[in-house]
Amino acid sequence: MRSELVNSELFAANRSRLKQLLPPGALALLNANDIPPTNADGTLSMVTNSDLFYLTGVEQEQTILVINPDAEDEKHREILFLREPSSENELWEGHKLTKAEARELTGIQSIFWLSEFPRLFHRLMCACEHVYLNSNEHNRAVVEVESRDARFIVETRRQYPLHDYRRLAPLLHQLRAAKSEAEIALIRNACAITRAGFRRVLKFTRPGVREKEIEAEFAHEFIRNDAGFAYEPIIASGRNACCLHYMTNAAVCKKGELLLLDVGASFANYNSDMTRTIPVSGRFSRRQRQVYNAVLRVLRQSAAGLTPGKKPKDWQKEAEQFVEKELVDLKLITPREIKKQNPDSPALKKYFMHGVGHSLGLAVHDVVAANQPMQAGWVMTVEPAIYIPEEGFGIRLENNVLITETGQEDLMADIPIEVEEIEKLMGR
């Protein structure tokens, strides 16, 4: 399990912080994610519930965490319910956590099998006043498939209709936004593995290779370092880079084209998110270099603008102003177009139409409290871009930046990004 790479003190500290936000008489409960089906009798690997992982480090299906700080019995103040291991499921599915392993992994002493959950849950519900249940409340989530948490909410409200039910998600969003030193160390490691993959790709890329082959080079480096892809990688050559979420990765890279690489490693469930744009032939053309350096300037200006107390929407406006100036200098838009533009559809949106960054952590687009100003401890991506379909290329650059009390720390400062450095490393 990836969580074996993490000290249980992190999860214990996270639970302690959550308890401080709960009112007297509260009970909070979280479920593991389901194992997603495919077709016929097929299944995919389970995607870890990041909230459950944040509080326990557990990545096993059918797991339930109960937090009940005011329980009369001290043994019931933190309880983890697990699927009971058996010789049959070990034969077909592999090892499942024992009680001793779960205690060491999580720091939770009260471990029960799932068969004991209904009886004990009823006892706890009869004694509590407020019930905090979990759901996916990311503001960009499109929730079409009912989760295990969602089914549990429906059933619990049916059985206990008179309780005071409350949302756990806002509390977890508040806690997860600012990363602890232990979490930052894990993100640093994910960034380091991403750096190794990128350096490998710089040596491998040349005209004639397929985008998929480049994806495979990243996969090789990630897997050998106990990591995986943080998200489906975007390996987009030529005009493909102008499709924001291009994931076909099937084209042949051609001489003279640029190759956009949006790839990040995930280590112990903590993510990195890098974008680089490199010349397939090893050297940028004059025009490509012009646009590249314009995007790089915006990245550095926007990274410097990450300060505690600033609202993300204001940071976005600043970045758009930086991009607007570069677009005028590149003769892609004119001051006249800016003067006459519709404020709801500014001229720059033709060439830069997405956000300049997002929070990063256990989710690639990590959770933060709604309308919350940025704080020290946030890790943000900074990813400006200029897409020029009519010229057959798009350039996006992205680094991961830690906001501190006194400024910023670029967690990807050692990943090559300067034109000269890229060309030198690709030189043959």
DSSP assignment of 344-406 = TB-GGGGT--S-S--B-SSSSS----TTPPP-TT-EEEE--EEEEGGGTEEEE-BEEEEE-SS
**Is pLDDT at 229 greater than 90 in this prediction?**
yes
The residue assigned the tokens 């308890």 is 19
Per-residue model confidence (pLDDT) at position 2: 54
Identify the pLDDT of residue 293: 98
The dihedral region occupied by 309, where left means phi > 0, alpha psi between -120 and 50, and beta the remainder, is left
| pLDDT tens figures, 232-260 | 999 999 999 999 999 999 999 999 999 99
Domain boundaries, the chain: 2-176, 181-426
Could you give the angle at which helices 8-21 and 99-106 cross, rounded to 10 degrees? Answer: 70
Copy the structure tokens of residue 114. 């799932």
CATH topology of domain 181-426: Creatine Amidinohydrolase (3.90.230)
Which residue is it, tokens 């005009």? 239
pLDDT at 142: 87
Q: Which residue type, as a one-letter code, is found at position 94?
A: G
DSSP 166-210: EESHHHHHHHHHSPPHHHHHHHHHHHHHHHHHHHHHHHH--TT-B
Is the pTM of the predicted complex or chain greater than 0.85? Answer: yes
pLDDT of 94 over the 70 cut: yes
Percentage with pLDDT > 90 across the chain: 95
- Give the model confidence (pLDDT) of 345-380 as tens digits: 999 999 999 999 999 999 999 999 888 999 999 999
Question: From CA 229, how far away is CA 192, in angstroms rounded?
Answer: 13
**Over the stretch 275-307, which tens digit does the pLDDT of each residue have?**
999 999 999 999 999 999 999 999 999 999 999
Question: Looking at residues 187-213, what average pLDDT do you find?
Answer: 98
194-to-36, 63, 267, 332, 414 alpha-carbon distances in Å = 27, 31, 10, 33, 11
Q: Average pLDDT, whole number, for the chain?
A: 96
Q: Please state at what angle helix 181-204 crosses helix 419-426, rounded to 10 degrees.
A: 50
Q: Which of 92, 178, 161 is nearest to 376 (CA)?
A: 178
Token pair, residue 413, equals 């400062």
* pLDDT tens figures, 45-75: 999 999 999 999 999 999 999 999 999 999 9
Structure tokens at 182: 């232990």
What is the pLDDT at residue 396? Answer: 98
pLDDT in tens, 103-129: 999 999 999 999 999 999 999 999 999
User: Are 230 and 266 contacting, i.e. CB atoms less than 8 angstroms apart?
Assistant: yes
Tell how far CA 287 is from the center of its chain.
33
Identify the pLDDT of residue 140. Answer: 87
Structure confidence at residue 208 as a pLDDT band (50, 70, 90): very high
| Strands laid side by side in the 234-237 sheet | 234-237, 258-263, 274-279
pLDDT at 1: 43
pLDDT of the residue at 428:
61
Is the per-residue pLDDT at 180 higher than 80?
yes
Tens digits of residue pLDDT in 21-52: 999 999 999 999 999 999 999 999 999 999 99
C-alpha–C-alpha distance, residues 22 and 369, integer Å: 16
The CATH H-level superfamily of 2-176 is Creatinase/prolidase N-terminal domain (3.40.350.10)
What pLDDT score does 24 carry? 97
